[in-house]
Structure 1
């Protein structure tokens, strides 16, 4: 597809994950900064995402929201970047598994813990992730099994889950385990990750109220 990529984001959002993904893809894109408050909740942006949240992506007539979905879409839309394993392969199965694990159990467990919510053992069966401890144990096994989540090759799953690990370690919202530190250590020096962080850090300075 040759259509223009338009990236709607705010440097203080999960859009930083998509920025990294876009830098890995390497296709030109245009950034639209959406301010928190009335702009994010009102047209024209609410026509892009009625939830009034960022990030979002427009690619020609296609609109994608939800960070993990955007990462998956970009990997498929730009296969030359090599960010998605071959369809119907074991690596592709792992790719789907850990993208959805990151968007579901991992995100929910970290958010609930940060908000001070902890279900009783009996009610934990009602939660999609069970318990925070089980999520951390599962993630530890995943990042210890191989260098990357979908095998020996870096992929969009590592952009998404790796970003969550980085934030969790930095802000203390997830447990500091050697396996997590080693995993992030394999990702943090990627040129695209460094470029993306620099772009958003610069935007953060420019958009911060005086």
Structure 2
């Protein structure tokens, strides 16, 4: 709904933020950006990184009247959309946005020798940088990114967490020792995308004849 008017160059809106699907979160120009109308909310931002109550976009979609967005087509509040954006702010957007910020959360200082990206601080065989990408605790050896495979008679399902602003792709091979043999698992649920919020994704591989197969997750930061 937002993209029709808010696509960065449109003259249909006073504020040229970008709601198109293709752009990254920083390119939207909505996070911590001052609005032209703060709607009486002190320190309001289009999206406030840490506080939904100070997020003008959220306030716009949960109001009726002249200040409502989108302005046409409905007078019914979309509670699912409101809850989704509120969760995005409180559960995902407020999380550390850079490796340095993330280090400040878990270590004594950015100069702490245990915080080096290539190190495995908690001995779980996962580097600090991978723990940063997967939003796990680098000081807890029991907290690490996991893939779960359920097999019941003729049904085989892979359960894997999707992480906000991180591309995750399931790959498979019959020969894990051959690094060139890993291939993308060609199923619709394994579509290339960067989710706005974290969730659990289930991929059914029952109908694919892979034979004996090994699986892994490829992660890439937005």
**Shared fold per TM-score greater than 0.5:** no
Structure with higher helix content: 1
Normalising by structure 1, report the TM-score: 0.28
Q: More strand by proportion, 1 or 2?
A: 2
Which structure's CA Rg is the greater one?
2
| Structure having greater relative contact order (Cα 8 Å, sep ≥ 6) | 1
